[in-house]
Structure 1
Amino acid sequence: AAPRGGPPAAASGTPAGHPPHATWMRASKQELGPEFVESLARGLLTLTAFGTGRAELPLTAVAEATGLARATARRALITLAHLGYLTTDGKLFRLTPKVLELGFAHLSGLTLPAIAQPHLAALVERVHDSASMAVLSGDEIQYVARVPTVRIMSVNITLGTRFPAYPTSMGRVLLAGLPPAERSGRLARTPLTRLTRHTVTDPERLGAILEQVRADGYALVDEELEEGLRSLAVPVHDRTGRVVSAVNVSTHAGRCTPEEARATILPALRDAATAIEADLRVAGRYARIAAL
């Protein structure tokens, strides 16, 4: 494991200088001690130098992109070429199809829920309330991942459970992420049924709420789906910036005020969404990630 945040810029395709990588290596070594294998880290870092627009690189370019010393980069390149992951004409190095063995088969079978599950589990550990992920399915949300704690709803939520989108925090995040014309069309054909005394059923008010959700980047729904239930949700974006799902935390309305929920739960939710998006960006470079 690497320190939080992982390797710096070169790992995402942006060349970085020596100091950031040196700092990252030192931090990793301090965190893990003898468990951290620097030579392995340097070899993997060398592979990240190659990418879009950098299919063939000389030694100097690899050293600059990774922040490794030329001698270190050279040893890593020669080792990787010997193992068949690189090929060289003596001046330029390029990846071979063998690098796909390092994880493409696994990535090609990944789904969005599989990517999200460990981050939802970490979120639950942090906030001690249930966390879920949902996607938009017609005019409803469909649960695709969930880590429960104490049951706080009268209905038992399982994977595949559906709710109307308009009175739920995840639904509002997903609706807010739609183009305005599509969002208006969905709301126009959706019966806005009053589920509790708090449910917003006025189309104009709901439209204004969704605009605010889009601006704020989160939705807080207080007892609109079920009495006593408060829920906070944030969007999850794919590599293109499109909202593809939402994650939420549900809690008892009496446990804290809305302001306290925003202060304590929202930062953790945003951290979880950011972590899911980071994994989604990496996996999405090599395979289409299915929502289910």
Structure 2
Amino acid sequence: MTGEPDGSGDPALGAAEDTPLSAADDTARGAHYVQSLERGLAVIKAFSAHSPQLTLSDVARSTGLTRAAARRFLLTLADLGYVRTDGKRFSLTAKVLELGYSYLSSMTLPEVAQPHLEQLSAQVRESSSVSVLDGSDVVYVARVAASRIMTVSINIGTRFPAYATSMGHVLLAGLPAAELDDYLRETTLDRFTSNTVTDPAVLRAELESVRSQGYSIVDQELEEGLRSVAVPVRDATGAVAAAVNISTHATRRTLDDIHAELLPRLRTAAQAIERDLAAAKPITRLG
């Protein structure tokens, strides 16, 4: 399909495919670990909104695979219907959405939260969302968009760095101490705007305040003009399992407006979501 040998007869290729992406992490992996699965997922994740179409060389460079190994993974994904190719460039198909929808359909949270977000958004005439923590990012699992206030579109599955968002602050503040220590040690705090907190000590202090007050207001840390307020959604044990927010533009709402008008309604919505979740099944927290 690409005019390159697939290396199926080369014993060295199989070894290359089974080499971990990060050798430093190998000591923490058990005998059960399937490195080929890791690499297949890495190939899928190489595609993005900025790179919807990739050549074989692009995928190999992005994943660290050899060209022969990248080709085998791409053609396998094509056989399974997750990838298409015109003979030179590869792109994902809509079937990849099944992977995400399998997770979402197993969660009660999105279906429970959605009507409450719709009611909240109608009341305040602003966008509202629910997210969960996945590694160092927040991932949107439910959303009602009242208006477009960011330069990028936000959809279900959109990810943002947790440290620069109000929902991220709420979710990080809810982590056990050891997990928060790991996060602050391992995460690079890049600057998005002049307001972005990039000092781990300052961020830790902010998260302590969020934990004690029960909410977070982030003022233009992720994008200029974007303000948001978030509160936790707790599970039956009282642990923070998700976060719900209202986002607005700085020209529409002052920080005082957010405290006085948005925060009380947001807290009411979060409580309603928690009540409905308690009557359903527990939230599945991402690893």
**TM band (smaller chain):** 0.5 to 0.7
- Whether the aligned pair in 2 keeps the contact of 1:219 and 1:233 (CA below 8 Å) is yes
Return the offset for 1:256: 2.1
**What are the within-5 Å matches in structure 2 for residues 160-171 of structure 1?**
160-171=157-168
Alpha-carbon separation, structure 1, partners of 2:177 and 2:260? 29
- Whether the aligned pair in 2 keeps the contact of 1:113 and 1:291 (CA below 8 Å) is no
Return the offset for 1:260: 1.5
- Whether the aligned pair in 1 keeps the contact of 2:108 and 2:280 (CA below 8 Å) is no
- Secondary structure of 1:234's counterpart equals strand
Is 1:123 the counterpart of 2:89 in the alignment?
A: no
Alpha-carbon separation, structure 2, partners of 1:195 and 1:281? 37
Q: 154, 158, 161: which one pairs with 1:157?
A: 154
Uncovered stretches (5+) of structure 1, i.e. residues with no partner: 1-107
Determine the structure 1 residue equivalent to 2:238.
241
Alpha-carbon separation, structure 2, partners of 1:160 and 1:257? 29
Distance 1:177 1:162, change over 3 A: same
Alpha-carbon separation, structure 2, partners of 1:230 and 1:147? 16
Is 1:175 the counterpart of 2:164 in the alignment?
A: no
Determine the structure 1 residue equivalent to 2:189.
192
Alpha-carbon separation, structure 2, partners of 1:149 and 1:243? 26
Determine the structure 1 residue equivalent to 2:270.
273
TM-score by length of structure 2 reads 0.61
Determine the structure 1 residue equivalent to 2:95.
none
- Secondary structure of 1:163's counterpart equals strand
Determine the structure 1 residue equivalent to 2:224.
227
- Report how many aligned residue pairs link the two structures: 182
Question: Which 4+ runs in 1 deviate beyond 6 A?
Answer: none
Determine the structure 1 residue equivalent to 2:99.
none
Q: 238, 247, 250: which one pairs with 1:250?
A: 247
**What are the within-5 Å matches in structure 2 for residues 1-292 of structure 1?**
111-284=108-281, 288-290=282-284
| Letter of the structure 2 residue corresponding to residue 256 of structure 1 | R
Alpha-carbon separation, structure 2, partners of 1:138 and 1:187? 12
Determine the structure 1 residue equivalent to 2:78.
none
Distance 1:261 1:168, change over 3 A: same
Q: CA RMSD in A?
A: 1.5
Q: Deviations over 1:179-222 (max 9, x none)?
A: 12211211110000001111010111100000000001000000
Alpha-carbon separation, structure 2, partners of 1:191 and 1:139? 10
Distance 1:264 1:208, change over 3 A: same
Alpha-carbon separation, structure 2, partners of 1:159 and 1:191? 25
Q: Deviations over 1:88-115 (max 9, x none)?
A: xxxxxxxxxxxxxxxxxxxx96621000
Return the offset for 1:257: 1.4
Alpha-carbon separation, structure 2, partners of 1:136 and 1:269? 19
Percent of aligned pairs with the same amino acid = 58
